[in-house]
């Protein structure tokens, strides 16, 4: 391939990182000890954040769900992570 001057071109996009951890920072304590089972509603909520590329830039979505009913308790969207 080198003799024929072929070059590899990757179709993958560049991977972006939204978290830049400080060297002296400690991780948050695991209060539920990885046990996401709940015995009733409003006993345990779980949250996550994700982001998606759009034509106008990045869109960040944060969601909170009730672990027992699996229903969305709240959500928020923004164009930055400051909120």
| Number of domains present in the structure of the chain | 1
Q: Could you give the CA distance from residue 45 to residue 73 in angstroms, rounded to a whole number?
A: 8
List, for residues 25-58, the tens digit of each pLDDT value: 888 888 888 888 888 988 999 999 998 888 888 8
Domain that holds residue 51: 47-78
* pLDDT computed for residue 12 by the predictor: 67
> What proportion of the chain, given as a percentage, has pLDDT over 70?
84
Residue 83 has pLDDT above 70, yes or no: no
pTM of the model: 0.62
Does residue 27 lie in a domain region? no
Higher pLDDT, 38 or 7: 38
One DSSP character per residue, 33-75 reads: TT----SSTTS-EEEEEEEEEETTEEEEEEEEEETTT--EEEE
Higher pLDDT, 44 or 19: 44
Residue 74 has pLDDT above 90, yes or no: yes
């Amino acid at each position: 391939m080198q003799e024929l001057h072929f070059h590899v071109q990757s179709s993958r996009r560049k991977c972006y990182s939204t978290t830049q951890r400080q060297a002296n920072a400690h991780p948050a304590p695991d209060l539920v000890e990885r046990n996401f089972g709940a015995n009733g509603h409003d006993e345990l909520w779980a949250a996550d954040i994700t982001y998606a590329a759009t034509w106008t830039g990045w869109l960040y979505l944060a969601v909170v769900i009730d672990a027992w009913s699996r229903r969305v308790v709240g959500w928020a969207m923004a164009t930055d992570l400051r909120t």
